[in-house]
């Protein structure tokens, strides 16, 4: 069993639960309250800011130019890719920088990114990648499941943009690169090291589940 297969096996129940989250279901069938989505966009924007910092710590932890380039590439990809999707929605909703700056970061959000950053600071390249991969790949899995259940979801006038963003060739291709690098970095990992990666991946997966609940319940 590969490292990624092991991580996904350890968290399969958590990941299966993503598809049943009311927020995710609403994204897929187009019934999601726009006010909830607007608030999610703001919270996810701030999440992405700290998520990008995790990659930056990865640059500092890199032991090779190859890995350093990978982390650096993703910093730009996030800022030019996912953030641009959010910027589009923020323009649609009239969200200004002033509103962003005066919107408190939800506790679930802050806890999640604080955990990821703590993993990055105390761990090495593979630990950073493990924390990152949980989020990056889960969004692809969610978007693909939405399309499998509702082929017209990418055409929704509001939420279709979100769905399309996570099934593009660029986004899914980047996930393949992350996966392959994680396999490469953990090829000689001991059982104890792999168990630690499982703990990181499981914690991040639980945080992802909490993030969807936070978005639906509009927790602060």
Q: How far apart are CA 26 and CA 9, in angstroms?
A: 27
Indicate the SS3 state at residue 32: coil
Q: How far apart are CA 108 and CA 100, in angstroms?
A: 17
- Catalytic member of 82, 125, 135, 204: 135
End-to-end CA distance of the chain: 40
Determine whether 135 is an active site residue. Answer: yes
Distance of CA 144 to the CA centre of its chain: 14
Q: List Cβ neighbours of 49 (8 Å cut-off, separation of 6 or more).
A: none
Determine whether 66 is an active site residue. Answer: no
Q: How far apart are CA 69 and CA 89, in angstroms?
A: 30
- Report yes or no: 160 and 32 within 8 Å, Cβ to Cβ: no
Q: How many CB atoms lie within 10 A of CB 189?
A: 14
Q: How far apart are CA 132 and CA 202, in angstroms?
A: 12
Active-site positions? 135, 208
């Amino acid at each position: 069993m590969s490292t990624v297969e092991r991580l996904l096996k350890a968290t399969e129940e958590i990941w299966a639960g993503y598809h049943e989250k009311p927020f995710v279901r609403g994204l897929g069938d187009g019934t999601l309250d726009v006010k909830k989505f607007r608030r999610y966009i703001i919270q996810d924007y701030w999440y992405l800011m700290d998520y990008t910092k995790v990659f930056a710590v990865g640059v500092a932890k890199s032991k090779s130019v190859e890995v350093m380039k990978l982390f650096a590439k993703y910093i730009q990809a996030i800022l030019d890719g996912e953030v641009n999707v959010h910027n589009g929605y923020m323009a649609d909703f009239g969200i200004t920088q002033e509103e962003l700056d005066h919107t408190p970061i939800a506790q679930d959000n802050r806890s999640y990114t604080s955990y990821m950053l703590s993993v990055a600071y105390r761990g090495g390249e593979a630990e950073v990648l493990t924390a990152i991969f949980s989020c990056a790949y889960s969004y692809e899995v969610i978007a693909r499941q939405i399309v499998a259940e509702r082929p017209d979801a990418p055409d929704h006038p509001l939420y279709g943009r979100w769905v399309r963003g996570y099934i593009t060739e660029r986004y899914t291709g980047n996930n393949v690169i992350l996966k392959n690098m994680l396999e490469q970095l953990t090829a000689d990992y001991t059982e104890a090291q792999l168990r630690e990666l499982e703990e990181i991946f499981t914690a991040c997966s639980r945080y992802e589940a909490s993030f969807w609940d936070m978005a639906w319940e509009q927790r602060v």
